[in-house]
């Protein structure tokens, strides 16, 4: 399930290089394998993309829950 939001993901445009190192690992595990496990995707599809902080990493599930809960 490749993520349809990947092309315009601020995380890769402003925070993390997508082709190497950790960025490539995140891309493989979250963007190309299972987008529904990505904290960024969860916030974007729940609240809207404007509520996704640039510094929210794909594996920050607890922070995503707090954002969604309004904390």
List pLDDT tens digits, range 6-59: 889 988 887 777 777 888 899 999 999 999 999 999 999 999 999 999 999 999
62 within a domain of the structure (yes/no): yes
Confidence of residue 1 (pLDDT cuts 50, 70, 90): confident
| Structural domain count of the chain | 1
pLDDT at 17: 77
33 within a domain of the structure (yes/no): yes
pLDDT at 14: 77
pLDDT at 67: 97
**Biggest distance spanned by C-alpha atoms of the chain:** 33
pLDDT at 19: 77
1 within a domain of the structure (yes/no): no
42 within a domain of the structure (yes/no): yes
Angle at the Cα of 58 from the Cα atoms of 51 and 24, rounded to 5 degrees: 130
Domain that holds residue 29: 6-69
State pTM to two decimals.
Answer: 0.88
d(CA 71, CA 65): 9
């Amino acid at each position: 399930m490749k993520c349809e939001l990947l092309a315009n993901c601020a995380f890769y445009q402003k925070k993390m290089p997508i082709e190497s190192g950790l960025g490539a690992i995140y891309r493989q595990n979250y963007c190309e394998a299972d987008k529904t496990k990505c904290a960024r995707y969860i916030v974007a599809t729940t609240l809207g993309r404007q509520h996704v902080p640039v510094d929210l990493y794909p594996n920050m599930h607890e922070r995503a829950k707090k954002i969604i809960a309004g904390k």
